[in-house]
Structure 1
Amino acid sequence: MRVIATAGHVDHGKSTLVRRLTGMEPDRWAEERRRGLTLDLGFAWTRLGEEEIAFVDVPGHQRFVPNMLAGVGPVPAALVVVAADEGWMPQSAEHLAALDAFGVRHGLLAVTKSDRADPARATAAALEEIAATALGEVPAVSVSGTTGEGLEDLRSQLAELASRLPPPDPDADVRLWIDRAFTIKGAGTVVTGTLGGGTLRVGDELTLGETSVQIRGLQSLGEPRESVSAVARIAVNLRGVPKDSVGRGDVLLTPGAWRPATEADVRLRGAASGELHRNLVLHLGSAAVPARVRPLGPDTARLLLASPLPLRTGDRGLLRDPGEHRIPAGFDVLDVRPPSLARRGAARARGEELATREPGWDYLRREGFVRHEEFRALGLPEVGDRLGNWHADPAHLARLRAEAGKAVVAWSREHPLAAGIPAEALRHRLGLPDAELLPAVLSDGLVLKDGLVGKPGAGLTAEVEKAVKLLEKRFAEHPFRAPEADELRKLGLGKRELAAAVRVGRLRAIADGVVLSPDAPRRAAEVLAALGEPFTVSRARQALDSTRRVMIPLLEHLDAAGLTEPLGDGTRRICCAGPANGLP
């Protein structure tokens, strides 16, 4: 399906053309039909050639410009209508400016009432005006809504226009701007809009503001559907949504794929930043939101929105003063996560930055790290070094690697017996947003192990080294006599010092406060194996020349390693001994 909006001055025959083309009545309200004046958006559709075409018919009167903007905002193409007997008129210009501001690039000119006046003059004037906008050069057709003359040519040109439209992306994130909301008895709330990208399916979960909603049913072109892909006019039956909680300007979104913004930096089209009033209305899609404008540069500004909108870089919209009937200003969204302007001179500096902006890189350099899905949500190209679910600014990454090395050295200086700085403490020092990023900022020579970051093989202080050497001398003579707590205290070996010695492999902890040489378990197993028969704790103590304080935890250590086996009668037997059992 292709969706085309009408545009043009009041009473130039937009609705009449849609009626003749489709056989459907686009004016939905009785008052519209009674007055012969379109007040709100109308919808109709037909098949032209191989294409289904849906029309969004908009009001032409200046009092209903907001309704017109809600209709043309989401559509990709327009049928510009100008009457031959009146020619180019004020609302012709305002509607064309709106199409230009929204970035509509595909269109067709229909010069109506050609039976009342020669269409040549109106056609030439309209084509000149249109050529100066994003629409560029468009085909023109002269037609009479009264006699039907030129309708077949118009149908042919509309089919040609539809074939030129760029193919939509059925896998895109859904952003359905709502232009109508009503209730159907037995079904509940129904909303309609132009689906510009993506696919909707019955049962899908979407977000509406801060609420999660589910699709109960779908319709397109008056027929129920299980799924609808862009581009399409679509009616969505929402489950459990009160009618008074949703209306024109609201938007249905793919969950988690959009980041509502309350401010954005934009480039202006059709007006300089200094020419705009500070308080305007921003139109995007079917939404109309009050916005304050802060100039940044000659053609750039910061928009501050009264309520959040799901914006992406590259979006096009317009700014309008509702109190004045003047040509609106268009804008292109440059940044939906702009930096603060709190410091003095920040606005001017920001304007200079935007003049030489690099989409994606500007945001990444400002943040340092950006989640992978954030680029798509903000409408930015993916740049930087990919680190799992993150992208990193290479320069920022290099700075953090240097800082990480300094932080580990400083921590080791303050905690000489520690195996390293706790990983979480280092993460906070470096300002990393996720622990997943920590390994990437560790420079050569740093390792992450057991939740600590440090240099491998970190040594002992001179005092601890001296005390451990004394113990090693002792173990050379009596390998199974562990020093008492008082002896350790006199040597200056507290819990931290012993833990450091165990960590570097100079001692082995058999139990709390019981340390032996690293090879003590292996040597004990070899001695006990020589006994040749089951042994008691007492027999083992005698064979190893040890004490009961040491022997009980030592035998339990050997049991856990599978070197000895308790027999249940107070004796043990040797299973095997040696490095194959995990002991040195």
Structure 2
Amino acid sequence: MIIASAGHVDHGKTSLIRALTGVDTDRLAEEKRRGMSIELGFAWLDNGEHEPLGFVDVPGHERFIGTMLAGVAAVDMALLVVAADAGPMPQTLEHLSILRLLGVQRLLLVLSRCDLVEPARQQQLGEELAEWLEQQGWPAVPQFAVSSVSGAGIDALRQYLLDCASNHQRPPSQGPARLLVDRRFSIAGAGCVVTGSLHSGRLQVGQNLLCGQRSLRVRGLQMAGREAAVVEAGQRCAVNLAGDLRDDQPRRGDWLGSLPQAFSNRLDVALHSLPDSRWHRGVLQLHLGAAVHPARLVLLEEGQPVLAQLLLEQPLHALHGDRFIIRDPAANRTLGGGRVLDPQGQQRGRSKAPRLQLLRAWAQADSPQQALLAALQQGPLELHGFAERFNLTLAELQQWLASDAALDGQDAPVLLQAGKHSWALHCHQAEAIWQVLQQHLQAWHAAHPERLGPGEGELGLAGTLHLPLSLWRALLRHWLDQGRLGRQAWAWHLPQHQPQLQAADQQLLERLRPLLLEGGLRPPIVGELSQLLGIELAELKLFLQRMQRAGQLIAVAPNRYYLPQQVDGLVALARQLVADSASGSFNAAEFRDASGIGRNLTIQVLEYLDRAGVTRFLREQRFLAGG
């Protein structure tokens, strides 16, 4: 359980933690000279057989408000410390507002320096603060009156905190690991060490992590000064790192995670304003995690909360649900804060009604499953991008989409794989797209009875309804597998459609077919066919082009046409070579030897297979393409 102190400067936060734990969190000489905290301080309190309590001592002075924000970015409880002889001060209210904006639910009020005031003053101040806290959204906050000098009330407060820690339920260690770094230092013999709070997942010794594009490894873990084999979500730890380390990375404010991290310079957010705050388009300070970033704010829609987009000077890493604070550096005051809704904010269409509707739904969602269903209502969803925003894996998303409980009684969506992209869309949306495509093909066949069907490009212009290309191709393959569509080479058609050839073309095709079949995988070139058929070359070329449009022939090379079944033989040979290869690939020489068609034609055939999407060429080898 992690507990942060909050309150005005010189109200006794550091002395309180020292009295509770015996640890002086003021480490710096400057802190001891000035008698005030400048950097974050940390202390642990042993809890017997239970997990120890971690204390974060944050500075109270207004000049160090950014450091204070870093300290309360991930805590379970806060101690609001108010000196009994002084009462609430400006930083008291600002710290309290920050705690509320960051979503800290559990709060304790500690009246410090009670040895300096009469009991009647303590009681009066406690009643005034209780009423004040209730107005701020914290009803019935437990109160403790203490003195770090005399020790009065310290034992009772310590026991209360130990009892809270014993009953504390940490969030489940689900999802990929994600650690917020708030300190970095070096230890002789160990090297780089960072400390921070684990927001999700778990860490263990030997685990690989990413910090931006850099690959790191966990050499060792410590909790409360003791070696640990595993750290779970909600716990604070020190991590000894190895790998691709730099002086500037990792540093305070960075995130360490087990998944690749996406960066963005646009964050769509749900924003809550403090009273009397005024937003402007000037440069503001975004406090997110343990880092500070210059940002400009664009309001998207008024409401509770306000929808806005933050424009950043440098890209940063964030996820849906991350809490933040915004301050005005010129006025040196906190304006408000909220939650990140979409860490990959849109530049175009950011204020359109469907986009705002989705952001509202994500602001109200209590779980990634609810956010997923809301996104599916909007249209096709690229699952990798969604998983990236919510710190999930594709396996988790696909498991949810296959679960009746997760779908809340809705029909299971259509799941499609398109290369590196995974798509999901509602069944009724897929059916609506199919109806558009089917009507287009029916009209096309009626207008071109002599041709087999249009190519993918022509279909895309008519039937995609502005779908991404990868999704459109996946849908075509989906309907092809279902038998709703037919495909021959580049031509797509309805299964029942057959080209209606002119009588003369049909007769000539019957004469041509045995000549092509006799050549096997190496049919005669166009010039040879002209001589064998006794037809002028120009006339034959026009005929061959008509047969290609009708789907009867396939131009594998400029001067060589194949029957569809001959092309099937070429594809079958490529698949067999891949199946027989330990590397799952083959080269041109291997295809030439297996087919016996010669070097030049082999190159033309392989280039055709690449164009047709059967194979892909990589480092002098050919692999089967997905789908």
Tell me the TM-score normalised to structure 1 length.
Answer: 0.74
Q: Is the Cα contact below 8 Å between 1:189 and 1:242 reproduced in 2?
A: no
Match of residue 101 from structure 1:
101
Which residue among 386, 389, 395 is the counterpart of 2:415? 386
In structure 1, distance between residues paired with 2:252 and 2:179 = 11
1:285 CA drift (Å): 1.4
Q: Pick closer, same or farther for the CA change 1:219–1:377 going to 2, 3 Å.
A: same
Which residue among 288, 294, 301 is the counterpart of 1:297? 301
1:450-509 per-position Cα deviation (integer Å, ceiling 9, x unaligned): 66532225423341x44435887999xxxx9x99412698899943566789959xxxxx
Q: Which 10-residue stretch deviates more, 43-52 or 190-199?
A: 43-52
1:261 CA drift (Å): 2.8
Match of residue 254 from structure 2:
250
1:320 aligns with 2:333: no
Match of residue 41 from structure 1:
40
Match of residue 145 from structure 1:
148
Report the AA paired with residue 8 of structure 2. Answer: H
1:349 CA drift (Å): 9.1
In structure 2, distance between residues paired with 1:365 and 1:438 = 22
Match of residue 196 from structure 1:
199
In structure 2, distance between residues paired with 1:294 and 1:198 = 34
In structure 2, distance between residues paired with 1:6 and 1:184 = 27
Match of residue 495 from structure 1:
544
Match of residue 382 from structure 2:
371
Match of residue 621 from structure 2:
none
Match of residue 582 from structure 1:
none
In structure 1, distance between residues paired with 2:116 and 2:380 = 65
1:405-452 per-position Cα deviation (integer Å, ceiling 9, x unaligned): 355457767976654445577568733324434334669742346665
Q: Is the Cα contact below 8 Å between 1:202 and 1:215 reproduced in 2?
A: yes
1:369-409 per-position Cα deviation (integer Å, ceiling 9, x unaligned): 32334333323997754345321155643443234335545
1:528-560 per-position Cα deviation (integer Å, ceiling 9, x unaligned): xxxxxxxxxxxxxxxxxxxxxxxxxxxx9xxxx
Report the AA paired with residue 460 of structure 1. Answer: P
Identity, % of aligned positions: 35
Match of residue 498 from structure 2:
459
1:141-197 per-position Cα deviation (integer Å, ceiling 9, x unaligned): 121111212122112221233345442221233332211112223332222111122
In structure 2, distance between residues paired with 1:111 and 1:73 = 24
Match of residue 476 from structure 2:
438
- Which runs of 5 or more residues in structure 2 are unaligned? 365-370, 392-396, 402-406, 408-412, 519-528, 554-559, 564-595, 597-627
Match of residue 20 from structure 1:
19
1:94 CA drift (Å): 0.9
Match of residue 521 from structure 1:
none
1:5 aligns with 2:11: no
1:93 CA drift (Å): 0.7
Q: Which 10-residue stretch deviates more, 66-75 or 304-313?
A: 304-313
Match of residue 209 from structure 1:
212
SS in structure 1 of the partner of residue 388 of structure 2:
helix
1:229 aligns with 2:232: yes
Match of residue 526 from structure 1:
none
1:66 CA drift (Å): 0.8
In structure 1, distance between residues paired with 2:185 and 2:157 = 33
Match of residue 288 from structure 2:
284
- Which runs of 5 or more residues in structure 1 are unaligned? 505-511, 516-555, 557-584
Match of residue 405 from structure 1:
438
Q: Is the Cα contact below 8 Å between 2:451 and 2:551 reproduced in 1?
A: no
Matched ranges for 1:128-143 at <5 A: 128-133=131-136, 135-143=138-146
Match of residue 89 from structure 1:
89
SS in structure 1 of the partner of residue 330 of structure 2:
coil
Which residue among 197, 207, 218 is the counterpart of 2:221? 218
- Once superposed, what is the RMSD of the aligned Cα atoms? 4.1
SS in structure 2 of the partner of residue 281 of structure 1:
strand
1:259 aligns with 2:253: no
SS in structure 2 of the partner of residue 459 of structure 1:
coil
Q: Is the Cα contact below 8 Å between 1:273 and 1:297 reproduced in 2?
A: no
In structure 1, distance between residues paired with 2:239 and 2:60 = 27
Report the AA paired with residue 534 of structure 2. Answer: D
In structure 2, distance between residues paired with 1:272 and 1:139 = 26
1:219-250 per-position Cα deviation (integer Å, ceiling 9, x unaligned): 22112333311222222222241233332222
In structure 2, distance between residues paired with 1:87 and 1:274 = 24
SS in structure 2 of the partner of residue 433 of structure 1:
helix
In structure 2, distance between residues paired with 1:376 and 1:473 = 57
In structure 2, distance between residues paired with 1:513 and 1:115 = 100
Q: Which 10-residue stretch deviates more, 98-107 or 242-251?
A: 242-251
Q: Is the Cα contact below 8 Å between 1:273 and 1:300 reproduced in 2?
A: no
1:40 CA drift (Å): 0.9
Q: Pick closer, same or farther for the CA change 1:127–1:160 going to 2, 3 Å.
A: farther
SS in structure 2 of the partner of residue 196 of structure 1:
strand
Q: Which 10-residue stretch deviates more, 84-93 or 327-336?
A: 327-336
1:110 CA drift (Å): 1.7
SS in structure 1 of the partner of residue 116 of structure 2:
coil
Match of residue 447 from structure 1:
486
In structure 1, distance between residues paired with 2:389 and 2:327 = 25
Q: Is the Cα contact below 8 Å between 2:43 and 2:55 reproduced in 1?
A: yes
SS in structure 1 of the partner of residue 36 of structure 2:
coil
SS in structure 1 of the partner of residue 333 of structure 2:
coil
SS in structure 2 of the partner of residue 91 of structure 1:
helix
Report the AA paired with residue 13 of structure 2. Answer: K
Q: Is the Cα contact below 8 Å between 2:81 and 2:110 reproduced in 1?
A: yes
SS in structure 2 of the partner of residue 66 of structure 1:
helix
Q: Is the Cα contact below 8 Å between 2:483 and 2:495 reproduced in 1?
A: no
Q: Pick closer, same or farther for the CA change 1:488–1:160 going to 2, 3 Å.
A: farther
Q: Is the Cα contact below 8 Å between 1:460 and 1:500 reproduced in 2?
A: no
Q: Is the Cα contact below 8 Å between 1:189 and 1:243 reproduced in 2?
A: no
Match of residue 31 from structure 2:
32
Matched ranges for 1:323-362 at <5 A: 323-340=330-347, 346=351, 359-360=371-372
Match of residue 508 from structure 1:
none
1:43-92 per-position Cα deviation (integer Å, ceiling 9, x unaligned): 11012353311111111111111111111012232122112211211111
In structure 2, distance between residues paired with 1:108 and 1:46 = 17
Q: Pick closer, same or farther for the CA change 1:432–1:403 going to 2, 3 Å.
A: farther
Q: Is the Cα contact below 8 Å between 2:197 and 2:237 reproduced in 1?
A: yes
Q: Pick closer, same or farther for the CA change 1:69–1:342 going to 2, 3 Å.
A: same
In structure 1, distance between residues paired with 2:562 and 2:259 = 58
SS in structure 2 of the partner of residue 190 of structure 1:
strand
Match of residue 582 from structure 2:
none
SS in structure 2 of the partner of residue 88 of structure 1:
coil
Q: Which 10-residue stretch deviates more, 452-461 or 179-188?
A: 452-461
1:9 CA drift (Å): 1.2
Q: Is the Cα contact below 8 Å between 2:21 and 2:44 reproduced in 1?
A: yes
SS in structure 1 of the partner of residue 33 of structure 2:
helix
Q: Is the Cα contact below 8 Å between 2:179 and 2:256 reproduced in 1?
A: yes
Q: Pick closer, same or farther for the CA change 1:107–1:100 going to 2, 3 Å.
A: same
Q: Is the Cα contact below 8 Å between 2:222 and 2:228 reproduced in 1?
A: yes
